[in-house]
């Protein structure tokens, strides 16, 4: 399949060409959050982040319950405002991260990514891996430069569903892992490590299931703004424990590190 290549036209013309498209498109894919620049979201890059509402998971520790439970209560941000900011920042902003919620639930996602690619920035999508064929299509069209996939638990249905909070098609999760690892684009797998849900053996199980992966991130659980308010009472693992988990997981993947509350790397597996 042909990969997408941005047209060699002036970037001001790009925005003009989309002006008549914004209104209809925006009604179908609302933007509920926008961070103009981040130094920690995509390691080694300065990026903007947009947040799309709704998710097909109900993870107990989800730190964005407003996007899952009551997205209509949030003010929508016009797509045109986002693209103008990206235009103004072109040259020192490297890319844009499309997060959520779960971006792949939107059938118009490819059109959104194409707009960003036309502006000339790199594009990363954050996903839970439940829509493998959406990921495959976006990769084949050249609309993605990076994918960050959350792996919630060892790839066993009962355990996965306990953490995701909904029934899960494990075949789709596994397919997404394979598609991503074979994609020839930058990627990372991530796991939020919550003491009441995952232990060192679970992390090793996950690492074995992605054996040979380029990058695996262990994220520190944050007991704030959780979807399940009972999680607010739980204490996260101490940093030294997560470092031990990372060393163990690093036996199976090329690179493993612990990411702390502010997104900063706490340790690496060397």
* Residue range 132-181, pLDDT digits in tens: 999 999 999 999 999 999 999 999 999 999 999 999 999 999 999 999 99
Helix axes 132-140, 109-119, angle to 10 degrees: 30
What band does 15 get if pLDDT is binned at 50, 70 and 90?
A: very low
Count of CB atoms within 10 A of residue 16's CB? 11
- DSSP H or E run through 139: helix 132-140
Segments of 84-221 assigned E as strands: 95-99, 122-127, 146-150, 186-193, 216-220
Q: What is the DSSP letter of 238?
A: P
Angle between helices 157-164 and 170-181 (to 10 degrees): 90
Residue 10 has pLDDT above 60, yes or no: no
Quick one: tokens of 39? 């130094």
Helix (H, G, I), strand (E, B) or coil at 179: helix
The answer, yes or no, to whether residue 13 has pLDDT greater than 70, is no
Predicted confidence (pLDDT) per residue in 187-223, tens digit: 999 999 999 999 999 999 999 999 999 999 999 988 8
Reported as a single tens digit per residue, the pLDDT across 59-86 is 988 888 888 888 888 999 999 999 999 9
Q: Would the pTM count as exceeding 0.85?
A: yes
Domain architecture of the chain: domains with CATH: 11-268 (3.20.20.70)
The shares of helix, strand and coil residues in the chain, as percent rounded to the nearest 5, are: 40, 20, 45
């Amino acid at each position: 399949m042909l990969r997408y290549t941005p047209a060699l036209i002036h970037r001001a013309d790009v925005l003009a060409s989309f002006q008549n498209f914004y209104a209809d498109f925006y009604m179908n894919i609302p933007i509920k959050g926008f961070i103009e620049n981040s130094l920690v979201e995509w390691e080694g890059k300065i990026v903007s982040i947009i947040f799309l509402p709704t998710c097909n998971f109900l993870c107990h520790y989800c730190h964005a319950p407003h996007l899952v439970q009551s997205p209509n209560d949030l003010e929508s941000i016009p797509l045109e405002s986002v693209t103008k900011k990206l235009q103004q920042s072109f040259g020192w902003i490297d890319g844009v991260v499309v997060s959520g919620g779960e971006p792949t639930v939107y059938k118009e996602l490819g059109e959104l990514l194409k707009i960003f690619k036309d502006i000339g920035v790199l594009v990363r999508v954050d996903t839970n891996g439940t829509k493998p064929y959406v990921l495959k299509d976006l990769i084949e069209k050249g609309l993605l430069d990076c994918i960050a996939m959350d792996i919630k638990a060892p790839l066993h249905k009962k355990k996965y569903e306990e953490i995701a909070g909904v029934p899960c098609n494990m075949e789709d999760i596994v397919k997404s892992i394979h598609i991503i690892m074979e994609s020839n684009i930058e990627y990372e797998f991530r796991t939020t490590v919550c003491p009441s849900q995952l232990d060192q053996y679970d992390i090793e199980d996950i690492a074995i299931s992605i054996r040979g992966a380029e990058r695996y991130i262990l994220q520190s659980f944050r007991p704030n703004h959780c979807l399940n308010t009972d999680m607010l009472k739980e204490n996260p693992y101490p940093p030294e424990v997560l470092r031990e988990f990372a060393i163990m997981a690093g036996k199976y993947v090329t690179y493993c590190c612990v990411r702390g509350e502010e997104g900063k790397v706490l340790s690496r597996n060397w």
